[in-house]
Structure 1
Amino acid sequence: MPAFIPDLPVILAFALTTIVLAITPGPDMALQMSRAINYGREHGLATAAGAMTGILVHTCLVALGISVLIVAAPTAFFVLKIAGALYLLYLAWQAITQGGGLRLAQKAAKTPNVAQSYLTGIGINLLNPKVVLFFMTFLPQFVDSHDPAAGQKLLFLGAEFILVSIPLAVLTVFAAEWLAGTLVRSTWVQRALNWSFAAVFTAFAATILFAEGRK
């Protein structure tokens, strides 16, 4: 077996843990559902693809040791928290002002293109300090730091995280599209859903502000 591939028990344990984490609600999931409901399946999938790209970046940063520097530096981590919180608040505002009418009933005030949804998915993932903390503390636990191939195994596990998460993200988007197609029948329901997404983004923004780096 190539040196960069972890042992089978490690691969299976990591896959199981990834499933649990992937189905745990977070900003990425909320954004994917919001985009799918408001703009359609392709936007939800593009947002999910953006989030997966962000995961790949986080994995590379961990493998290179850069995430440790970000979390260990109070100023850098503080700036990351503020940027992440402000971005989520912007998405909350956008959900209210630009998503007041869902796609099935009427066009939203401004419909982004698929590329914009993809970039938004990347942004919400990269600017989430909790994701930085997660990958810095969680991913290395599955690799021996003294292993000469530790960096390569971290990249392998990051790729595994993405592969396991993709089907779950697709199911989330399809479920959101089903919600839009079967439950959204009135302007009141549309507004209630978008205000709910705005509340979720705001709550995550507040949670991010309390994330702590290394003392």
Structure 2
Amino acid sequence: MENVSNLARRHKDTLYRLLTSFTDLGYNMGYQLLNAADFGVAQSRVRVIIAGIRKDLGFFYEFPKPPQIRRTVRDVIGDLPEAATVTKFLYEEPLIPNHTTNWESPSPERLYDVILNPRNQRRGMRRLPWDDVSPTLTAHIAKDGREFLHPTADRRLTVREALRIMSVPDSYVIPGSVKLSHQYRLTGNGVPYLLGKALAQSLRLQLLNARDNRMVGII
């Protein structure tokens, strides 16, 4: 299971009740806070990962050690061409799927106005840094994306740029029939691919080792 970090930081009682409930159901439980940035994701995204292994399998899940591979925003989106506009997309397929933009809220003029005259903005304008990791992408990017501006272009990220910052391979394409706001929302609500892959690979290896150990014991 995956959840926001505050489950382990501010709501420990809830977390421990959850762990206890699954322990009573017959699972060896454990949890750990992991930052996707430590697994090669160009994004600082700390989440609590909860793992349970059936007790009859005879082991506790051991969380993978981060490879400490750091990738920046430039590393993952710097090679992308300028995004196609939605207007152009109506007449011509984009070269890269999900790499279109329709900057309407806020407009570039509004963007500069808020940057120069902050006023009382609940959520400020924020450009992503080229040479560092991105802040945590959230489902809020589906609203107007003002917190996730391209490092140099006067627009929010495209869905493809957001997917790359989530380390999702380009082979994963969201159908154009899905509303653009829903594309952003499912991306912001997702689990970074490289983190999920590391968790799955370590789980597979541990399950195979447990199977081999049982076979040796039988022999």
TM-score by length of 2: 0.21
Structure (1/2) with the larger helix percentage: 1
Structure (1/2) with the larger strand percentage: 2
Higher relative contact order (CA 8 A, sep 6+): 1
TM-score by length of 1: 0.21
Larger Rg: 2
